[in-house]
Copies of this chain bind each other. A is one copy, B any other.
Amino acid sequence: MTAQSLSKERLRLWLRMLRVTRQTESILRERLRTEHDTTLPRFDVMAALYADKDGLKMNELSRRLRVSNGNVTGIVDRLVEDGTVERIAIEGDRRATRVCLTPAGRETFSAMAVEHERWINALFEGVGEEDAHHIGELLHCLPTTAHDPD
């Protein structure tokens, strides 16, 4: 196999990943909207916060989700409006704030997460155990910022 055809194969792989990812996101977006009256970005923020009982700082959140700083500001603003999360002052550093799920937010997310996993499980029906694991390992060494704890 030449370097050239390897390059083509990698490009094909990338385009296919992009296609699957967009299609899956589109399906998730639709279901979150119709069945839970929320959006994918909000779900993502809630998911990140759900994992940490003590919440996350804004910049941690933005690094975790791989979106810009200012972006998170807007999403959190809207989540605060409807009582899903709250901003809590950090003592000793008045620049930063900690964002936490409220009890109501935790409850809401918990229900969504169960369904979300079910959706993914169904959508990825064609992927068996050893494949899921194998691909997962491979992706692990793909484009990502160094020292990434996911």
* Interface residues in chain A, defined as those with a beta carbon under 8 Å from any beta carbon in chain B: 1, 5-27, 66-67, 117-118, 120-121, 123-124, 126-129, 131-133, 135-136, 138-145, 150
Flag if B145 contacts A6 (CB, 8 Å).
Answer: no
Flag if B9 contacts A129 (CB, 8 Å).
Answer: yes
Flag if A13 contacts B127 (CB, 8 Å).
Answer: yes
Q: Which residues of B contact A120 (CB under 8 A)?
A: 7, 10-11, 14
Chain A interface main SS type: helix
Complex copy number for this chain? 2
* A23 in complex: contacting residue of B136, B141, B143, CB < 8 Å: B143
Q: Which residue of B lies closest to A128 (CB)?
A: B6
* A9 in complex: contacting residue of B118, B132, B144, CB < 8 Å: B132
Docked CA distance A4–B39 (Å): 26
Q: Which residues of B contact A124 (CB under 8 A)?
A: 10, 13-14, 142-143
Docked CA distance A131–B9 (Å): 10
Q: Which residue of B lies closest to A21 (CB)?
A: B21
* A11 in complex: contacting residue of B25, B117, B144, B150, CB < 8 Å: B117
Q: Which residues of B contact A12 (CB under 8 A)?
A: 132, 136
Known: A12-B132, A117-B7, A129-B1. A23 touches B66 (CB 8 A): yes
Known: A127-B142, A142-B123, A142-B127. A19 touches B66 (CB 8 A): yes
Docked CA distance A21–B139 (Å): 10
Given contacts A1-B129, A12-B136, 11 further A-B contacts (CB under 8 A): A7-B118, A8-B117, A9-B132, A10-B120, A14-B24, A23-B145, A123-B143, A124-B143, A126-B138, A126-B142, A127-B142
